[in-house]
Amino acid sequence: RKTYRIAVIPGDGIGKETVPEGLRVLDAAARRFGFDLSLTDYDWSCDTYAKTGKMMPDDGLDRLRDSDSIFLGAVGWPGVPDHVSLWGLLIPIRRGFDQYVNLRPCKLMPGARTPLADRGPADIDFYVVRENTEGEYSSVGGRMFEGTEREFVSQQSILTRHGTDRVLRYAFDLAMTRPRRKVTSATKSNGITFTMPYWDERFAEMAKRYPQVTTDQFHIDILCAHFVQHPDWFDVVVGSNLFGDILSDLGPAVAGSIGIAPSANINPEKAFPSMFEPVHGSAPDIAGKWICNPIGQIWSGAMMLEHLGEKAAADAIVRAIEAHLAEGGPRTRDMGGNAGTVDVGKALAEAV
Amino acid sequence: RKTYRIAVIPGDGIGKETVPEGLRVLDAAARRFGFDLSLTDYDWSCDTYAKTGKMMPDDGLDRLRDSDSIFLGAVGWPGVPDHVSLWGLLIPIRRGFDQYVNLRPCKLMPGARTPLADRGPADIDFYVVRENTEGEYSSVGGRMFEGTEREFVSQQSILTRHGTDRVLRYAFDLAMTRPRRKVTSATKSNGITFTMPYWDERFAEMAKRYPQVTTDQFHIDILCAHFVQHPDWFDVVVGSNLFGDILSDLGPAVAGSIGIAPSANINPEKAFPSMFEPVHGSAPDIAGKWICNPIGQIWSGAMMLEHLGEKAAADAIVRAIEAHLAEGGPRTRDMGGNAGTVDVGKALAEAV
Ligand SMILES: CC(C)[C@H](C(=O)O)[C@@H](O)C(=O)O
Ligand SMILES: CC(C)[C@H](C(=O)O)[C@@H](O)C(=O)O
């Protein structure tokens, strides 16, 4: 019987409400599919910051290092600036553990409501693969002539061959596991003329190694338009840190799943633990009321199990979510019902 | 009787078909509203490049300098790389004439089809104001360790106080002319931590000077999602060169008008000529068949007249387009009809 060590970080706001429901469903899956989860809780959050001046202890990454995966709720709270909360917890984990792939399914679930007219589940089912460690989110930049009329700021965007090739490879490998075998590249080489042409070059190189994969590429402006007009065109979409960030919010929005979408921050080589978190944030407006929707967290749990090698258990959770949405199980307010967070978690644990 | 000197650059592909129709309607407006247009034609294009090795002559900008406005079709053709065609014609004009505002209306026209469910003309009516000269489209960057495993590229994004403040001011001034008086800022200061916090800082400063204007701001990822989910939230949206580029394609896509949307590249001080062009490109797939939709070009003509101070004439053109769409005048193929480019141009000239 296998045991997986999971580091659990509920974080801020509704993360404290969704994570227990995520764990409830994971626990049900573990019992049914015959494996164990050994959980270690970490209370790192903006609360911790208020008490200690740090989002996580100095040896935070070391404490997480031996876990098989990290299960995260949400990070961020009003009053604590993002460069403190996110750059003190979320970003250091992504980078420190070289989680260079950020993966998000964009899938119109049966029974979910897309804002698009005349679109059904068969039309929207793709993945966004985002580079998660370099690119536009760089640490190189600064300000000159501060406080004067000549003031300016500058920030570099950096693409390395190492960083670019490995995320492209992941996207092509993922496409090979899917029936359509198609990869779309997000670029902007007509406007951003140093970094993006390089991205195109590496994409073309990588495509040569995967002759069975169909490819195309669009500039990010028209690609965003196509997400709205032709979501059925896409299978696997790969983009830089910023472009992937944009597309992996727009994709779930188009699929009507932004409140329930999961995401995975993956180190594919498993040299470090990977991290799984819902796309939604800490939602200060509804936190503390136990009315938030835990499906994003639960779905993130399914992605975690898949990464750990428990594919059957992962599929069972995703099927339970699909059935739940299609058959009208208890719904939280955001989905037009009045069930509580716990009701949904219990129903899904039951179904698994 | 006023005379405006217009430099006309049809450019490539369908630009050669839409520009004459744009001029036809402008001519009708001039006759009705009592002003003259003095046109000078420039055949600068990818064809010119094939013949001369240059998209425009070395003194191109000087030749345009004395015109009151530039009326552009489309730039770009297969076989000529973007860094040649766009960076040899479009971008030099935008920068050389300090057209620091790129303005695009996102408006659901009566009778037009939005891809969104349950949205009518009252829900989508906003402007995207894009910074058009600096930011992510910078000329500072390069490549190191070329051809090795250590290879990387780097490109700076640069925001100056001068460049940032003036485009923000334009956005606030525009909002002051509109009933809702609201400005939304596109940012990403939680991820891009040198340039974007500065953008936020200048936005907050500018907002103080416009106490009657309501403001909000969103990170670009969730802002793109909101364009799809809540297009009714927006009045004037202001963004950097890249973010503005993305939003000003996504906005028209959401409004179902990407094939007919206009854009203006404006130097508000009128120190240099401004340039007006449709959002669509040269459309190689349908060029030469005279079946393309000229409405984007005609609507761009209306923006040009407004900039020249002929507001009544501009309004007449926009009203003619609205009536045409609502009442089902001749439609090109992209709008489900089988009229030709010229039919639509004639119908609109007639209506004006
Ligand atoms: C063609 C390209 C360089 C241009 C841009 O990104 O500025 C286009 O997308 C636009 O929006 O006018
Ligand atoms: C919170 C923010 C820094 C983060 C990002 O942009 O990476 C978020 O938008 C995400 O997508 O996980």
pLDDT tens profile B9-45: 999 999 999 999 999 999 999 999 999 999 999 999 9
| Mean pLDDT within B39-55 | 95
pLDDT exceeds 90 at position B328: no
Residues B225, B321: Cα–Cα separation, whole Å:
29
Same domain for B278 and B210, yes or no, is no
User: Do B301 and B216 share a structural domain?
Assistant: no
Can you tell me the distance from the alpha carbon of B340 to that of B227, in angstroms, rounded to the nearest whole number? Answer: 32
| DSSP-assigned beta bridge partners for residue B236 | B127, B183
Does residue B179 carry a pLDDT above 90?
Answer: yes
Name the band, by pLDDT with cuts 50, 70 and 90, for residue B276: very high
Residue A316 in this model has a pLDDT that exceeds 90: yes
Quick one: what percent of chain B has pLDDT higher than 70? 100
What pLDDT is recorded for position A113? 85
Distance A50 CA to ligand 2 centre (A): 22
Q: State the best of A84, A91, A245 to mutate against chain B, taking most chain B CBs within 10 Å.
A: A245
SS3 A166: helix
Residue B234: per-residue pLDDT: 98
User: pLDDT tens digits, residue range A19-74?
Assistant: 999 999 999 999 999 999 999 999 999 999 999 999 999 999 999 999 999 999 99
Q: Which stretches does DSSP call E strand in chain A?
A: 2-11, 35-41, 69-74, 101-107, 125-131, 141-144, 152-160, 182-187, 214-219, 236-239, 262-266, 274-278
Are A121 and A103 in a shared domain? Answer: no
Select from A115, A156, A228 the Cβ nearest to the Cβ of B154: A156
Residue B109 domain flag: no
Ligand 1, atom 10: nearest CA belongs to which residue?
A: B245
**In ligand 2, which atom is closest to the CA atom of A263?**
12
User: Cβ A161–B150 below 8 Å, yes or no?
Assistant: yes
Chain A residue with minimal CA distance to B256? A229
Same domain, A303 and A220: no
Tally of domains in chain A: 2
Do A198 and B143 meet the contact criterion of CB atoms below 8 Å apart?
A: yes
Identify which of A160, A229, A245 has the shortest CB distance to residue B191.
A245
Do B210 and B297 lie in a common domain? no
Residues B88 and B3 in one domain: yes
8 Å CB contact of A150 and B161: yes
From the CA of B193, the nearest ligand is: 2
Give me the pLDDT at residue A133, please: 95
Two structure tokens written together for B32 = 């009705």
Between residues A83 and B135, which one has the greater pLDDT? B135
**pLDDT at res. B42:** 97
B124 within a domain of the structure (yes/no): yes
Q: What is the spatial distance between Cα B337 and Cα A185, in angstroms, rounded to a whole number?
A: 33
Spacing, Cα A185 to ligand 2 middle (Å): 20
For ligand 1, is residue A221 a contact (CB within 6 Å)?
A: yes
Give residue A26's domain range: 1-107+257-352
- pLDDT band for A3, please (50, 70, 90 cuts): very high
A349 CA → ligand 2 middle, Å: 29
Q: Taking residues A274-278, what's their average pLDDT?
A: 98
Whether the pLDDT of residue B202 is over 90: the answer is: yes
Identify whether residues A194 and A84 lie together within a single domain.
no
Chain A residues with CB under 8 Å of B248 CB are 221
Name residues 105-124 of chain A within 8 A of B (Cβ): 114-118
Mean pLDDT for A120-127 is: 94
CB-based contact B24:B328 (threshold 8 Å)? no
Contacting residues for A226 by C-beta, under 8 A, at least 6 apart: A218, A233, A234, B253
Does A33 lie at the interface with B, CB-CB under 8 angstroms? no
Terminal CA-to-CA distance of chain B, rounded, Å? 19
Same domain, A136 and A244: yes
Rounded to an integer, what distance in angstroms lies between the CA atom of residue A41 and that of residue B50? Answer: 66
- pLDDT at residue A1, as a whole number: 87
* Boundary (domain end) residue, out of B255, B281, B313: B255
In this structure, the strands spanning B274-278 and B69-74 are: parallel
Nearest CA in chain B to A81: B190
In a domain, B108, yes or no: no
Site to probe by mutation for ligand 2, drawn from B189, B190, B192, B193 as the one with most ligand atoms within 8 Å of Cβ, is B190
pLDDT of residue B112: 84
Q: What is the pLDDT of residue A300?
A: 98
DSSP-H helix ranges across chain B: 15-33, 46-52, 60-64, 82-85, 91-96, 161-176, 195-208, 220-229, 241-254, 295-308, 311-327, 341-351
Q: Which residues from chain B sit within 8 angstroms of residue A117, using beta carbons?
A: 114-118
Give the pLDDT mean for B317-337.
91
> For the residues A93-107, what does the mean pLDDT come to?
96
Best of A75, A106, A137, A245 for a ligand 2 pocket test (most atoms within 8 Å of beta carbon) = A245
Do residue A220 and residue B246 have CB atoms under 8 angstroms apart?
A: yes
User: Sorting pLDDT into bands at 50, 70 and 90, what band is A110?
Assistant: confident
pLDDT at B83 exceeding the cut of 90: no
Taking the CB of residue B269, how many other CB atoms lie within 10 A of it? Answer: 9
Q: Is the pLDDT of residue B329 over 90?
A: no
Most informative mutation of B82, B102, B132, B245 for ligand 1 (most atoms within 8 A of CB): B245
Q: Report the pLDDT value the prediction gives residue B208, as an integer from 0 to 100.
A: 98
User: What Cα–Cα distance (Å) separates residue B293 from each residue in A29, B45, B340?
Assistant: 56, 20, 8
Stretch B325-342: mean pLDDT: 90
Judge if A222 and A301 occupy the same domain: no
Tokens of A183: 């990869």
Give chain B's radius of gyration (CA, Å).
20
pLDDT category at A336 given cuts 50, 70, 90 is confident
Residue A345, pLDDT score: 96
Residues A51 and A154 in one domain: no
Both structure tokens of A33: 């599919």
A182 and A209 fall within a common domain: yes
pLDDT band at B259 (very low <50, low <70, confident <90, very high): confident
Identify the residues whose C-beta falls under 6 Å from ligand 2.
A 86, 245; B 190-191, 221
Let me know whether A314 and A350 are in one domain: yes
First to last CA, chain A: 19
Mean pLDDT (chain A) is: 96
Confidence (pLDDT) at B281: 92
The residue from B221, B255, B289 where one domain ends is B255
Whether A157 sits inside 8 A of B155 (CB atoms) is yes
How close is the nearest chain A Cα to the Cα of B129, in Å?
15
* Contact status of A161 with chain B (Cβ, < 8 Å): yes
Residue nearest (by alpha carbon) to ligand 1 atom 5: A191
A213 neighbors A205 (Cβ within 8 angstroms): no
Q: What is the pLDDT of residue B132?
A: 96
Q: Is 90 exceeded by the pLDDT of residue B82?
A: no
- Buried/exposed code over B59-97 (b: 16+ C-beta within 10 A; e: otherwise): ebbeebeebbbbbbbbbbbeebebebbbbbbbbebbbeb
In this prediction, residue B319 carries a pLDDT of 96
Name the nearest CA neighbour of A156 among B201, B148, B144, B195.
Answer: B195
Dihedral sign for Cα atoms in the order A161, A162, A168, A172: positive
Separation of B20 CA from ligand 2 center, angstroms?
47
pLDDT at A82: 86
pLDDT for the residue B67: 97
Axis crossing angle, helix B220-229 with helix A241-254, rounded to the nearest 10: 20
Q: How many angstroms separate the CA of residue B291 from the nearest CA in chain A?
A: 21
Query: Across chain B, what does the average pLDDT equal?
Result: 96
Which CATH number belongs to the domain containing residue B224 in this structure? 3.40.718.10
Domain finish residue from A209, A236, A255: A255
Residue B251 located in a structural domain: yes
